[in-house]
Amino acid sequence: MNNYAVHGIRFIILLLLQVLILNNMLFMGFLKPYVYPLFVILLPLNINKIQALFLAFVMGLSVDFFENTGGVHAAACLVIAFVRPLVLRFSFGINYDYQTLKFYNEGFKQRFNYLAIMVFTHHLVMFALEAFSLKHSLYIVKSTLLSGLFSLFLMLLFVQLIRNRK
């Protein structure tokens, strides 16, 4: 299947999973998992930075539209799309520099580091913008850590399912 089609299908599946299922679930009264950033995280390595930022913005804005959150998700997606090359270089090192990186063939530790940094960056930006006050810093830290861990767990499962299919 065409690479664009695969990413288009991934966009639709993650968006629908987020807005139809996960947005309607609260675990322990306040934990809401966010898996839609996986779309930005799994964008092709050779994608143009402008394209990555545009696609991240569209994904975030789509979630904002359904959650009525006024750009919080779009901003968080833009941040992770912007820092993505740096995190890839940090997590995968020379494989990324020489464009020989195959995400699903890399070790678990490297994939985990990459996903964790991206997820916690996304969640920190999202919850900080949502609270929009340092007075709520405990809420920001608690929400980032707990929702981030839960989201990271779900994303690792999703990535493992994709990896096993390939």
List the one residue out of 91, 126, 96 whose CA is nearest residue 110: 91
- No. of H helices and E strands in the chain? 7, 0
Total domains present in the chain: 1
pLDDT at residue 24, as a whole number: 84
Burial degree of 14 (CB within 10 A; 0-12, 13-18, 19+): buried
Q: What is the CATH number of the domain that holds 156?
A: 1.10.1760
* Token couple for 158: 């999703």
pLDDT, position 165: 64
**Computed over its alpha carbons, how large is the radius of gyration of the chain?**
15
Domain region containing 73: 3-165
pLDDT along the chain (166 residues), means of 10: 82 94 82 93 90 97 94 97 93 69 77 95 96 88 94 92 70
The pLDDT value given to residue 98: 59
Among residues 87, 17, 81, the alpha carbon closest in space to that of 54 is found at 81
pLDDT of residue 81: 98
Q: What are the tokens at 81? A: 């799309």
- The whole-number pLDDT of residue 43 equals 92
Provide the pLDDT for residue 166: 58
